[in-house]
Amino acid sequence: MKRWICAAAAVMLVLFTACMAAAEGVTFTTKYFTMQFPEGWETDTEDLTQEDGVEELGYFGEQAAYGLSGGAFLVYYEELKDIRLFDAGKEELQAYIDALMEEFEEDRPVYLDTLMAGQIPLVMLRCTDKDGEYIHVDTMTNGYAIEIQFYVMSDDEQDMKTYPVTDRQIEQIKSVLATFRPAGN
């Protein structure tokens, strides 16, 4: 009987460990923040560039046809150097959302949500440009915007347009964004 209990406990421990590892997924780590992607995603934070005030932070993608892909960038806006969204009031946050909607006006933005990752508000827009639809996520502190974009592409390298992001994929993006943490936390 004791052997059966020990064997059952060992099996439960293995299953628990496997479930925890699967729940953790793939960590996307940049100099400024981390996020957790589901298992099966790939990330790339090697050989990144910085030009024209835009610093590439990394790229990520779901390994599936018509899966989500995207990238993260750090952009400095001198005119917004006094904005700190993590301690902004409702009116300041709304003013920032309005300014963001205006900035992306050419891409016909639709406000989706403001998600809270701890104390950090992440503003989420659905946009459409000449290549198709994408989801733009933005937060700001002291003029530095972390901009994260998600889009859907086919697995055909000749097909460079993006496809509509489904409601299921929006929920998947929100789950990933819920894991957003400043680097070192």
- Per-residue pLDDT 10s for the chain (185 aa) are 333 333 333 333 333 333 333 456 899 999 999 999 999 999 999 989 998 889 999 999 998 888 999 999 999 999 999 999 999 999 999 999 999 999 999 999 999 999 999 999 999 999 999 999 999 999 999 999 999 999 998 777 767 788 999 999 999 999 999 999 998 76
* pLDDT at residue 145 in the model: 96
β-sheet bridge partners, residue 43: 60
Please tell me the pTM assigned to this model. 0.83
What is the spatial distance between Cα 158 and Cα 143, in angstroms, rounded to a whole number?
A: 37
Q: How many CB atoms lie within 10 A of CB 132?
A: 16
Domains of the chain: 26-182 (3.40.1000.10)
Count helices and strands in the chain by DSSP H and E runs: 3, 11
What is the spatial distance between Cα 45 and Cα 184, in angstroms, rounded to a whole number?
A: 17
* pLDDT at residue 15 in the model: 33
* pLDDT at residue 20 in the model: 38
* pLDDT at residue 153 in the model: 85
**Where is 76: in which H helix or E strand?**
strand 68-76
Query: What tokens appear for 8 in the block?
Result: 């059952």
DSSP the chain: -HHHHHHHHHHHHHHHHHHHHHHH-EEEE-SSEEEEE-TTEEEE-SS--EETTEEEEEEEEESSTT-EEEEEEEEE-GGGTT-BGGG--HHHHHHHHHHHHHHTGGG--EEEEEEEETTEEEEEEEEEETTEEEEEEEEEETTEEEEEEEEE--S-TT----BPPPHHHHHHHHHHHTT-EETT-
Residue with token string 């989706």: 112
Residue 53, helix vs strand vs coil = coil
* pLDDT at residue 24 in the model: 64
